[in-house]
Structure 1
Amino acid sequence: MEPQQTVCTLSRDGEGELGVVTGKENSITVGKDKDDIIVACKAPGYEDKTIRLVSSASTAGVAGGAFIDLGITDMITGAMWQYQNEIRVALNKPGQAPANTDFAKPL
């Protein structure tokens, strides 16, 4: 995350806040779910940035579940869903051209 003093709050619809990551403690583990995760980042002297981690169906979960129960259990438990393993966030100073380093969809 850039700058080092960036603080990002992760939340998911229906669950509220999942956790906070910073430039120093920049790793978090979240459970699988069908709902997207919203990542809202800010740092003093920089423009705030909000990005969306899109939840997508895991092909392994769909194929594996199809033989047992047509994937219904995986859909209910959230096991068939996945998020990107890693994102990079770079905040911009006001008036600065946006950095193209994010691996997630900007909101």
Structure 2
Amino acid sequence: MKKTVLFGALLLSACGTVFNGTEQDISFDSNLKGVKIFVDGMQICKTPCVYPLERKSGSVVVVAKKKGYEDKQIVLRSGLNNASILNLTFWPSWLTDVATGGMWQYSRDGIYIDMEKSNLAAADWEKARSQTALRRFTLFNFEELKMAASAGKTDSDVFQALARLSGQSPALLTEAVNNAATPVSLVQNLEKSAAGS
């Protein structure tokens, strides 16, 4: 009896499923609030939000929609979950991970969507492209910007690039970067100060 219970417990103790579950929380945010997020054609939430997405193999197509803006499509890829590698020594547990989806992990836990207005005039389109470039640069270089600002290195390449993209002085940028807790909050602060100037 004890051997049967022990074997059953081992069979059902799949590492990927036990450690990570069958869902992965994915956060969605955007430059606009209230953007509708769709997965497999079904609306799951409005930004900003966190949604528990079921783990599975392959890719998931995420579509962001808002009236008056271009729809955005993002592909979220999944790969092998590191915890499920532990199951290679005991194949029944590995099969449990395969059946529950616990062996998969999405490539990222958060998605930032940059919505752009539809039917823009040429001048407005150029402005939107500049704003998009500023957002992307800020999001991808946030950690390096934080280190440069805290060390007072406003002459660094990354800080000079931010000054060119934003059209703001290094002194103002230093304050904005130091006051930002997250990459998204830095983007929002830069956009507010650009709108005020």
TMscore range, shorter length: 0.7 to 0.9
Please give the secondary structure, in 2, of the residue aligned with 1:47. coil
Runs of 4+ in structure 1 deviating by more than 3 angstroms, as ranges, are: none
TM-score by length of 1: 0.73
Please give the secondary structure, in 1, of the residue aligned with 2:112. coil
Bigger Rg, which one = 2
Work out whether residues 3 and 91 of structure 1, in 8 Å CA contact, stay in contact via their aligned partners in 2: yes
Output aligned runs, 1:16-31, within 5 Å: 17=42, 19-24=43-48, 26-31=49-54
Whether 1:57 aligns to 2:86 is: no
What is the CA–CA distance in structure 2 between the aligned matches of 1:77 and 1:47, rounded to whole Å?
Answer: 36
What is the CA–CA distance in structure 2 between the aligned matches of 1:93 and 1:50, rounded to whole Å?
Answer: 15
Q: Comparing both chains, which one has the higher relative contact order based on Cα–Cα distances under 8 Å and sequence gaps of 6 or more?
A: 1
- Matching residue's letter, 2:37: C
**How many residue pairs get matched?**
95
- Matching residue's letter, 1:64: L
TM-score by length of 2: 0.43
CA RMSD of aligned residues (A): 2.3
Q: Deviations over 1:42-96 (max 9, x none)?
A: 11222110111101111221x2110111733322321110112111112112433
Instruction: Give structure 2 stretches of 5+ with no counterpart.
Output: 1-29, 119-124, 141-197
The Cα of 1:35 is off from its aligned counterpart by 3.1
Work out whether residues 9 and 40 of structure 1, in 8 Å CA contact, stay in contact via their aligned partners in 2: yes
Number of the residue aligned with 2:91: 69
Please give the secondary structure, in 2, of the residue aligned with 1:54. strand
Work out whether residues 10 and 37 of structure 1, in 8 Å CA contact, stay in contact via their aligned partners in 2: yes
Instruction: Give structure 1 stretches of 5+ with no counterpart.
Output: 103-107
**Structure richer in helix, relative to its length:** 2
**Structure richer in strand, relative to its length:** 1
- Matching residue's letter, 1:68: F
